Amino acid sequence: METKILNKETITFVLRENLDISDQELYDLVELVWNSDDHLEAIQMSNRYILERSFRMNDTYQPVYDAVRSRMSNFNASELIERIVQNFDISCEVEHVKQGYLQASYEQQRPSTLFKPSLSIDGNQWCALYGEDLQCGVAGFGDSPAKAMEDFDKEWVKNITTKRS
């Protein structure tokens, strides 16, 4: 089952392309749709907004409104918004969220994150050391703290015989 979602940019784009209204009215209409928990209710509210707007116009704007409305004779805002809701696919975004979660999980399980080795400069490199000294503890070295932590993670999983030789 696909998950579908709207964002403000999409709503703004579609309404701007299909309605001839001021930026403030566009902003108000987008907020009206966006802040609704129920898309059907939002569609009904947007239709009411457009109808109320037509009743609020004074005589000087009526000819302009009629001309614009005549160019949009078959436009149905609720149908357009329903189509957007049905066709907007975020399945690729779901994968991005999954990947981000897996990366965060990995980072939380790294030995350098769990055991928090001390960082210091040893000669011309950074040293990440867990333990009293290099002989008794586990150490990683690198040109930056991040590289020292990566080396520490690699050293953490090595067997003792591999370390000593």
DSSP string, the chain: -------HHHHHHHHHHH----HHHHHHHHHHHHT-S-HHHHHHHHHHHHHHHHHH--TTTHHHHHHHHHHTTT--HHHHHHHHHHH---HHHHHHHHHHHHHHHHHHHSHHHHH--EEEEETTEEEEEESSSTTTSEEEEESSHHHHHHHHHHHHTS-HHHHH-
Q: What's the whole-number mean pLDDT along residues 109-125?
A: 93
Residue 104 lies in a domain: no
- Residues 28-54: tens digit of each pLDDT: 777 766 666 555 566 666 666 666 655
Q: Are residues 115 and 79 both part of a single domain?
A: no
Residue 41 lies in a domain: yes
Does the residue 3 lie in any domain?
no
Predicted structure pTM score: 0.43
Per-residue model confidence (pLDDT) at position 42: 61
Q: Which pLDDT score, from 0 to 100, does residue 128 have?
A: 96
* Same domain assignment for residues 23 and 79: yes
pLDDT of residue 144: 96
Whether residue 130 is predicted with pLDDT greater than 90 in this model: the reply is yes
Instruction: From 37, 63, 93, give the residue that closes a domain.
Output: 93
Q: Is residue 2 part of a domain?
A: no
User: Could you tell me the residue range of the domain that residue 47 belongs to?
Assistant: 8-93
Tell whether 101 is covered by a domain.
Answer: no
Q: Give a yes or no: residue 58 inside a domain.
A: yes
Is 114 or 21 the better-scoring residue by pLDDT?
114
User: Which range, of 18-27, 67-76, 136-145, averages the lowest pLDDT?
Assistant: 67-76
More confident residue, 43 or 15: 15
